[in-house]
Structure 1
Amino acid sequence: MVQVELIYVPGSGSTVHMRLDLKDGATVEQALNQSNIYSICPETNGLAIGIYGKLVSNETTLKEGDRIELYRSLILDPKDKRRKVAQVKLKTKLANKKRD
């Protein structure tokens, strides 16, 4: 038997955290099916899957202590977000200089 964790954080911010006991040689797909995550959170079907931050396939064999993570799509690319924040700061700074 191997014990693994399953983590999913929906957009609402609450965390789905499960501990699963699986047979030796179990795969990610078997863990997901046993967890019923697709019934509990239907939006997880088709999401990217990883173990400790590294993308894996459904056929990946699990080891003791693995943490299966389901990754939501990013709403905004982090680079684009930083650019937008920088643009707003620059506009604010320029507007403040014009007032002085």
Structure 2
Amino acid sequence: MVEIEVVYAAVERQVLLAVAVAPGTSLRAAVLASGMAAQFPGVDLAGCPLGVFGKVVADADARAVQAGDRIEIYRPLLVDPKEVRRLRAAKAALAKQQSL
């Protein structure tokens, strides 16, 4: 068996589960077998992006787990970070202009 960790961070809480899976198990299959669905019933584990140690994996169904992997389940962004920065810069420029 291969020892791995599966991690998911929701807004209100984070869960890390230690799991033992058979060698050759895909990342996606390991996540589905981890029991994370019971912790977060609303999360689409079959379709969400996955990563290992902070690096997104392009094909989680094809990549096999390796001993010690920390599989991270990513949730969709609520707001585009570039858009937030643009709005913040515009607000700062307006405040600077009004103070002159």
User: Common fold, TM-score beyond 0.5?
Assistant: yes
Q: Which runs of 4+ in 1 moved over 3 A?
A: none
| Equivalent residue for 1:54, pick from 47, 53, 56 | 56
Higher helix share: 1
Query: Percent identity among equivalent residues?
Result: 27
Contact (CA 8 Å) 2:49, 2:75: kept in 1 or not? Answer: yes
TM-score, L = length of structure 1: 0.84
TM-score, L = length of structure 2: 0.84
Q: CA 1:43 to 1:58, structure 2 compared with 1: closer, same or farther past 3 Å? A: farther
Residue deviations 1:26-72 (CA, integer Å, cap 9, x gap): 22233123212123212321321122222242232100111111111
Match of 1:2 in 2: 2
Match of 1:24 in 2: 23
Distance 2:70 2:3 in 1: 9
Q: What is the DSSP-based 3-state SS (H/G/I as helix, E as strand, rest coil) of the residue aligned with 2:88?
A: helix
Q: CA RMSD in A?
A: 1.5
Is the deviation greater in 79-88 or in 18-27? 18-27
Q: Which runs of 5+ in 2 are unaligned?
A: none
Q: Which runs of 5+ in 1 are unaligned?
A: none
Larger Rg, first or second structure (1 or 2) = 1
Distance 1:4 1:77 in 2: 31
Q: Which amino acid letter does the alignment assign opposite residue 65 of structure 1?
A: G
